A and B are shown apart, each in its own frame.
Chain A
Amino acid sequence: QVQLVQSGAEVKKPGSSVKVSCKASGGTFTSYAISWVRQAPGQGLEWMGGIFPILDIPNYAQKFQGRVTISADKSTSTAYMELSSLRSEDTAVYYCARFIGATGYYFDYWGQGTLVTVSS
């Protein structure tokens, strides 16, 4: 049983950056991909990007290219998502999730979510 535990809520100023962590337990961290999905208040789900730790190569949604950095630390089984140049529209709950891409393209385990509030 895979468990993903995320870091706590953050309040950030516009223009700053935020880094959210996602610690995995259960399963073999390097054998699956971790994605980041965000959900603005009252809105739907939006994929931001992901990483396959064993390859250490991230891929990003076009919308976030240049502003998001996704990384993984194999030694601690932790994935990170850093979003820079924050604006009010980035206020959202950010989720990490295990992505199964070899066959069905789906997210089978999710973190509890991290609320990031961007406000002056």
Chain B
Amino acid sequence: QSVLTQPPSVSAAPGQRVTISCSGSSSNIGSNYVSWYQQLPGTAPKLLIYENNKRPSGIPDQFSGSKSGTSATLGITGLQTGDEADYYCGTWDSSLSAGPVFGGGTKLTVL
């Protein structure tokens, strides 16, 4: 059972926009920055968004992030079949067992 909650799957047509939600609590998302990762089949996760809404060098502006309260959202515009992947949110949990935590992942299907 993951600390952060994501929908198991989302889907959209090529060229469309999709959002992926990530829900947490006051001890994690509510008090810390959120990051997002893309995991293409058979590969290691790749950082897409850090500190809620910043993109590392080389990540296109088709990807965006936002946070409000104890939830965060990843937005992906101009969908392509190459965007089909698993997406994970992550943050720090400041509770008794402090450490990095992740969502369960969301499988994006581009129809």
Name A's B-contacting residues (CB within 8 A).
35, 37, 44-47, 49, 59, 61-62, 95, 97, 99-101, 103-113
Contacts and interface: CB of A to CB of B under 8 A. Distances in A.
Nearest to B4: A44
Question: Interface SS of chain B: helix, strand, loop or mixed?
Answer: strand
A44 B2 contact: yes
Report, nearest first, the 7 A-B pairs whose CB atoms are least far apart: A106-B35, A105-B92, A104-B51, A110-B44, A104-B33, A106-B50, A45-B102
Contacts of B40: none
Contacts of A35: 100
B101 A47 contact: yes
Nearest to B2: A44
A24 B68 CA distance: 36
Interface of B: 2, 32-33, 35, 37, 44-47, 50-51, 54, 56, 88, 90-92, 97, 99-105
A105 B35 contact: yes
Contacts of A46: 102
Contacts of A100: 50
Chain A interface, DSSP helix/strand/loop, else mixed:
strand
B105 A44 contact: yes
A95 B97 contact: no
A59 B99 contact: yes
Contacts of A103: 33, 51
A112 B92 CA distance: 23
Nearest to B104: A44
B43 to A, nearest CB: 8
A107 B45 contact: yes
A49 B99 CA distance: 8
A95 B102 contact: no
Contact of A61 (B2, B97, B104, B105): B97
B51 A107 contact: no
Given A44-B102, A44-B105, A109-B47, 19 more contacts: A44-B103, A44-B104, A45-B37, A45-B88, A45-B105, A61-B99, A62-B97, A95-B44, A95-B45, A97-B45, A103-B33, A104-B54, A105-B32, A105-B33, A105-B35, A106-B35, A106-B90, A107-B35, A107-B37
